[in-house]
């Protein structure tokens, strides 16, 4: 019975972590669209009544605004402003830095050291993992995700010889986890290309 309760709890948490971010993202988009509805209403009235012009125009305007903000943040002034806001406010929010790094990895910005794909040695096996941080003594904090939910799993602190960073896109490692390990051969091949010693070869 205890094992059943633990399995149910882990499954519930995994589902919660997968559903809540999507739900919050949709909620924020709908709220932003509602806020922009007043701006696009005059244009929407020019279109046929059967066409959901107000919703479509609000979504289009929101996407344009996001795109323009993205362009602004890529400028030197925008980057400086973003850094000031992060340092003075956002970094004080628990978990912000970690999830910002995750979002950047998902966007393909591989300059982030956090959430770097790796293979970790757990007992006598290699498991897909992500490097969260490096400790002052050289050890790594790694997150080992549960299959197939990439945002639920376990955290380990491992010595550097047991952690093999991979020069592969973040999306490749995520796919291997969400597809029940399919594609892991590419992760192992990345270690072999880098010349790192594998489990049992030391």
Q: Where are the domains of the chain?
A: 2-92, 116-194
The CA distance from 105 to 171, in Å, is: 8
The CA distance from 185 to 176, in Å, is: 9
Across the range 120-124, mean pLDDT stands at: 88
pTM of the model: 0.50
Residue 176, CB-side half-sphere exposure with 13 Å CA sphere: 21
Please state which of the ranges 39-48, 94-103, 118-127, 181-190 shows the lowest mean pLDDT: 94-103
125: left (phi over 0), alpha (psi -120 to 50) or beta: beta
The CA distance from 162 to 164, in Å, is: 7
**Tokens 């892991």 belong to residue:** 184
pLDDT digits (tens, 9 = 90+) for 123-179: 888 888 999 888 999 999 999 988 877 777 889 999 999 999 888 887 788 888 888
Please state which of the ranges 106-115, 146-155, 168-177, 188-197 shows the lowest mean pLDDT: 106-115
- Does the domain made of 116-194 have the CATH classification 2.30.30? yes
* Model pLDDT, residue 202: 44
Q: Answer with the residue of higher pLDDT: 26 or 141.
A: 141
The CA distance from 90 to 97, in Å, is: 8
Render the burial of 38-61: b for 16+ CB within 10 Å, e for the rest: eebeeebeeeeeeeebbeebbbeb
* Model pLDDT, residue 9: 65
* Model pLDDT, residue 113: 61
* Model pLDDT, residue 178: 83
The CA distance from 68 to 136, in Å, is: 40
* Model pLDDT, residue 195: 56
pLDDT digits (tens, 9 = 90+) for 40-85: 888 778 778 788 888 888 888 888 988 888 888 788 887 787 777 7
The CA distance from 173 to 169, in Å, is: 7
């Amino acid at each position: 019975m205890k094992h059943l309760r633990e399995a149910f709890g882990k499954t519930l948490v995994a589902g919660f972590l997968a559903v809540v971010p999507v739900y919050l993202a949709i909620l924020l988009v709908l709220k932003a669209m509602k806020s922009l509805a007043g701006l696009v209403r005059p244009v929407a009235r020019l279109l046929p009544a059967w066409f959901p012009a107000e919703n479509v125009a609000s979504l289009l305007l929101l996407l344009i605004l996001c795109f323009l903000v993205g362009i602004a943040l890529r400028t030197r002034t925008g980057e400086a402003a973003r850094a000031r806001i992060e340092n003075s406010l956002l970094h004080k929010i628990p978990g912000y830095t970690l999830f910002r790094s995750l979002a950047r990895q998902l966007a393909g910005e591989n300059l982030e050291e956090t959430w770097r794909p790796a293979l970790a040695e757990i007992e006598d096996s290699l498991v897909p993992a992500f490097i969260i941080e490096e400790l002052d003594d050289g050890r790594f904090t790694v997150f080992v995700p549960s299959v197939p939910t990439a945002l639920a799993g376990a955290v380990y602190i491992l010595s550097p010889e047991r952690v093999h960073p991979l020069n592969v896109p973040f999306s490749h490692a995520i796919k291997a986890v969400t597809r029940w390990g399919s594609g892991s051969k590419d992760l192992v091949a990345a270690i072999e290309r880098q010349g790192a010693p594998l489990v049992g070869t030391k």
